[in-house]
Amino acid sequence: GAVVSQHPSRVICKSGTSVKIECRSLDFQATTMFWYRQFPKQSLMLMATSNEGSKATYEQGVEKDKFLINHASLTLSTLTVTSAHPEDSSFYICSARDRGQGLSPLHFGNGTRLTVT
């Protein structure tokens, strides 16, 4: 079945540094990918919608200059957390929809646990 690979699964970084998270669709093309943030015992919060070849659409309250999204190809989207701070520590998940299937399920990556010290 369709697989979305997210890397890294865990990352620890120092405050002030930047972290890049990759989301790849392994066996299908995804014109649209989604980035979420999830706090403990909470549901997923959509941060932004990433469209291949164009600018991402950010949800209200999400700083586009802090969370940089690049969707350079039909199989890869990246989320860069710039100048990370401890409050950015969270679980980040991406998802992608197979453009070849009209009512296809969203395929989720396994998430990235970011810890900022």
Partner 1 sequence: KNQVEQSPQSLIILEGKNCTLQCNYTVSPFSNLRWYKQDTGRGPVSLTIMTFSENTKSNGRYTATLDADTKQSSLHITASQLSDSASYICVVSDQAGTALIFGKGTTLSVSS
The answer to whether 44 touches 36, Cβ cutoff 8 Å, is yes
Token output for 40: 């403990």
SS3 86: helix
Place of tokens 């093309």: 29
CB 92, CB 7: distance < 8 Å: no
Q: How many residues bind partner 1 (CB under 8 A)?
A: 21
Q: Which stretch binds partner 1 (CB under 8 A): 12-20, 34-42, 62-70, 74-82?
A: 34-42
**C-beta of residue 67 within 8 angstroms of C-beta of residue 19:** no
Nearer to partner 1, 14 or 41 (CB): 41
For partner 1, the binding residue among 15, 17, 73, 110 (CB under 8 A) is: 110
4 binds partner 1 (CB under 8 A): yes
Q: Which residues bind partner 1 (CB under 8 A)?
A: 4, 6, 34, 41-46, 91, 93, 95, 103, 105-111, 113
